[in-house]
Structure formats: C-alpha cells, structure tokens
Amino acid sequence: MKVTLTAIKADIGSIGGHLVPSSDVIARVEEFIAERGKDLICDHFTGHTGDDIAVLVTHERGPGDEDVHRLVWEAFKSGTEVAKNQGLYGAGQDLLKDAFSGNVRGLGPAVAELCFEERENEPFLLFTADKTEPGAYNLPLYLAFVDPMYSSGLILSPTVGQGFAFTVMDVSCTKKDRIVEICTPEEAYDLAALLRDNGRFVVESIRSRATGEEAVSCGTTRLRNIAGKYVGKDDPIMLVRTQKNFPATGEILAPFEIGHFVAGFMRGSHIGPLMPVKMGSGVSFFDGPPIVSSLAFCVHDGKLTEPTDVFDHPYWDWVRNKVAEKAHNIREQGFSGAAMLPYADLEYGGIKVRMQALEERFCTRN
C-alpha cells in the first residue's frame, strides 16, 4: 500500500508558562482527530514534547492533502478553545493565521510528511523537539547519513553505502522556497559548509541514492518569518524511515548522545545543549534545556503499532546527566558571548529599542 505519514506540531497553550500542554487540551485534540478523521485517515497518534502537541496521522491521500491538513488545523483550533477556557499561557500561540487556506504550511504549525510504498516491514521514527529550531537536526542527520564514525551501515551495507541526496533549504529566503540538492559522499564537505549554519540552512529531506526512496522529512517553518515578530521558537518535527536501505534505528539515534549546542532555550534567544528526553517530558530549567524526543513505530496497511519511546532507556539517563552538566556550564556565563544568540538572531524586539536609545548617547572623542 502507498501510505502517507503526516506529522504536524503546534504550541496551542501550556500550563505555568511555556512548559507543558494540559491533559484536557491534548485529549480534545486527540478526540477531534479520532471523531472527525474517521473516514479520512487510517490511523493517528497524539503526544507532546515540552509545550508542543504533535499529531501523527497515516492516510492514502498523499502529502499536502487539504482535507488532512484541515483536520489537524481544526483539531488544534478546537484544542485552543479548551486552552483559552483553562487560561493556559500562549493559547493558540502557533496558529498564526485566522483562516485555514489549503495547507498548514505557512500558517504556523511545523509539518513533516513522507509518502511511500510500504516495505514488507516498515519501521520509522517520529522526532519532536522543543525550545530550539529546525537546524537542530542538521548535525545528527549529517552524522547518521554521512559519517561512518557514527553510522557503520555506510561501510557495511551496499545500499546505504551508495550515499544520500540531501535537499537543503535556505530559510532566510522568505519570498520563495530556496533549496539546493547535495549528494554524499562526494559533496560531504559542501554539505558540512552549509549545515554548520543551523539558523540559515536546514535539511528539508533526504533520499537514498541506491533506490531514490525518501528517508527523511523535516519541518522548516520559521515562525518569525510568518508573524513578522517573535511569537515562540520554531520547535521542529521530523520523520525518519530506518533499516534496510536506510541507516538502522540505532545509527539515527547515536548522534543524539552528543547533546550538541543549539539555538533556543529561554525566550528563544540563547544557546543550550539538546537533551534527548522521553515523550511527554516538559521543560523547566531556564525554559529548557532544548529537548528532543523520539518514538519508533512500524506501519502496515496504514495501521500504526504502539510506539516505543527510544530515549526511555538507562543509556539515555547517563546522556541526560552529561547534557545537564553542559547546560549548567554554559548558563554560568549568563548573557555573555557564546551563551546568547548574536544580535541579528535575537528573537525579541525589545533589545533593538534599547540599543537604539543607547546609540543616541554615544559620542566620538577627538
């Protein structure tokens, strides 16, 4: 069967600040999808990471389908009503446009979609991150799909070893989708030159060069570009198919043990290490640290298995402790230097006003 996985994620309000959605809001979103989606979709899953709710639906209607996107948009709208009634912080935060117009892309929520002919066995991973930006997946994807130091399949498997085609988006271009295709291993250094800049160049998708099949789809939404001002971080969502002609599940997960430094954290304006956490975790310390969770599923005839939480394992407890120490180390230096984003990337307009006022007080000495 040709199945489409559609994963959409939005912050529609949370308890106590930007921490976690309420169980009532999550329940409303889930019920809405189950009820209204009955004749439209094959299966669905709803979960949350930090203050963002993620909805995964399976269907046969292809990517960008208007009815499927409308279903999830309206589920988030319905959840927002509950959030408002409960007085949740930032109710409807990521629903930046009033009216649905064909597709949730460009309306606020983050979207990742994969469409493929199901293999006999079809494992995949759903990643959801909070308090960070889409470029947070750049390094883990590079290491899992290009570097045999992390991904042994690149030297052990004849198909994985033929490399991958990366589609990279320049998210600074707001008028149109500006993209480039880079083929590894030959162009690995070109890819690294782009992906070092997580704020500008973002992996959008990855294809197997052996079979042409799509392995990865990653949300590239920039909320600031849609809203024209800071309304929250772009907390990204990603789908990754694994095994056989793709890296193994464990190879995809391996780079997440680094806890690499990403943009986000408090007020979307700092640098912090990305901590792999269990699905359903909130954030706390300094509205962070930036977190990522991941669930593994198999899908057959459009039906999902129950998920297994890949970061719910003793190994990742050790990783979390290590990453907490990295977070502590960078937070010790507060606003200074590398701990905060450069001026141009700061998400808050307030500092611009402050700097303009100071500008007028400067004078030059003869």
- Active site annotation includes 11: yes
- Active site annotation includes 230: yes
- Does 235 sit near Mg ion (CB under 5 A)? yes
Q: Least CB distance from residue 111 to ligand 13P, whole Å?
A: 16
Q: For ligand 13P, which residue of 63, 250, 280, 307 counts as binding (CB under 6 A)?
A: 250
Which residue lies nearest ligand 13P, judged by its C-beta? 232
Q: At 284, is the secondary structure helix, strand, or coil? A: coil
Of residues 234, 142, 239, the one with CA closest to residue 196: 142
The region of 18-26, 262-270, 291-299, 347-355 touching Mg ion under the rule CB under 5 A is 18-26
Residue with smaller CB distance to ligand 13P, 128 or 217: 128
- Does 161 sit near ligand 13P (CB under 6 A)? no
| Lookup: tokens for 233 | 């971080």
Catalytic site residue from 147, 230, 278, 345: 230
Q: Which residues contact 179 (CB under 8 A, 6 or more apart)?
A: 167, 168, 169, 170, 204
- Does 130 sit near ligand 13P (CB under 6 A)? yes
- Does 51 sit near ligand 13P (CB under 6 A)? yes
Q: At 135, is the secondary structure helix, strand, or coil? A: helix
x-marked contacts with Mg ion along 22-51 as a string, rule CB under 5 A: -----------------------------x
Count the alpha carbons within 13 Å of 178 in the hemisphere toward its beta carbon.
8
Q: At 32, is the secondary structure helix, strand, or coil? A: helix
The region of 76-84, 232-240, 311-319, 334-342 touching ligand 13P under the rule CB under 6 A is 232-240
With CB under 5 to 8 Å by kind, the binding choice for 307 among ligand 13P, Mg ion, none is none
With CB under 5 to 8 Å by kind, the binding choice for 250 among ligand 13P, Mg ion, none is ligand 13P
Q: Which residues contact 38 (CB under 8 A, 6 or more apart)?
A: none
Rg (CA), the chain: 20
The region of 28-36, 58-66, 179-187, 230-238 touching ligand 13P under the rule CB under 6 A is 230-238
Q: Rounded to the nearest 10 degrees, how much is the dihedral formed by the CA atoms of 290, 296, 299, 304? A: -80
Rounded Cα distance between 363 and 10, Å, is: 47
Rounded (5°) CA angle 114-115-119: 105
Q: At 58, is the secondary structure helix, strand, or coil? A: strand
x-marked contacts with ligand 13P along 266-285 as a string, rule CB under 6 A: xxx-----------------
Cβ(136)–Cβ(294) under 8 Å? no
First to last CA, the chain: 77
- Does 11 sit near ligand 13P (CB under 6 A)? yes
Q: For ligand 13P, which residue of 3, 8, 13, 18 counts as binding (CB under 6 A)?
A: 18
Rounded (5°) CA angle 15-293-273: 90
| Lookup: tokens for 225 | 């570009």
User: By the criterion CB under 6 A, which residues form the site for ligand 13P?
Assistant: 11, 18, 50-51, 90, 93, 130-131, 232-233, 235, 243, 248, 250, 266-268, 287
Active site residues: 11, 230, 233
User: By the criterion CB under 5 A, which residues form the site for Mg ion?
Assistant: 11, 18, 51-52, 90, 130, 232, 235
